[in-house]
């Protein structure tokens, strides 16, 4: 994010992978499993509202949810919210949804 080198795409891919692993591959919004290559980085406070690329302001989401949310703000990223996303994702997988 802020530490982009000349090849910013490599940095962004690495960050997206870290977020994907942290969230066990589940979208922050819908908790559906998203393959790493299809995941997107989403800003909690949108860049259009001066949101940064720093870790506390980014999560991984599916493209559909990222596009639907647009520029709306989201609640802050917390360990409790992360645990809830993972639990909901596991629940969805067990239910076959």
Structure tokens that stand for 34 in this block? 């998203």
3-state secondary structure of 67: helix
**What local confidence, expressed as pLDDT, does residue 3 receive?**
43
User: Residue 48 sits in which domain range?
Assistant: 8-92
Determine, yes or no, domain membership for 1. no
Q: Which whole-number Å values give the CA distances from 20 to 34, 50, 56, 65, in the listed order?
A: 8, 24, 14, 15
**pLDDT, tens digit only, all 97 positions of the chain:** 444 444 556 667 888 889 999 999 999 999 999 999 999 999 999 888 888 888 889 999 999 999 998 888 788 999 999 999 999 999 999 998 7
| Any domain includes 97 | no
Q: Is residue 3 part of a domain?
A: no
Task: Quote the number of domains for the chain.
Answer: 1
């Amino acid at each position: 994010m802020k530490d982009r080198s000349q090849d910013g795409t490599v940095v962004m891919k690495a960050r997206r992978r870290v977020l994907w692993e942290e969230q066990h591959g589940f979208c922050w919004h819908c908790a559906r499993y998203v393959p790493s290559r299809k995941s997107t980085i989403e800003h909690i406070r949108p860049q259009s509202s001066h949101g940064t690329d720093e870790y506390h302001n980014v999560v991984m989401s599916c493209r559909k949810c990222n596009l639907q949310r647009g520029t709306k703000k989201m609640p802050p990223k917390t360990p409790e919210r992360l645990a809830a996303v993972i639990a909901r994702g596991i629940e969805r997988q067990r239910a076959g949804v």
